[in-house]
Amino acid sequence: MLFKGFGLGLFIVLAVVLILGTFAADYPKFLRQHYNNPKSNVRQSYCNAMMQSREMTSPNCKPLNTFIHDTKNKITAVCGSEGTPFGNGLRRSRRQFRVTTCRIRGSSILPPCEYRENTSPRYIVIACENGSPVHYEEGQI
> Residue 69 catalytic?
no
- Give CB contacts under 8 A, 24+ apart, made by 2-8: none
Instruction: Name the nearest CA neighbour of 39 among 61, 71, 62.
Output: 71
Distances (CA, A) of 132 to 2, 96, 102: 39, 18, 23
**Given the residues 30, 34, 66, 83, the one annotated as active site:** 34
* Residue of 69, 74, 122, 135 with catalytic role: 135
Catalytic (active site) residue 34? yes
The residues annotated as belonging to the active site are: 34, 135
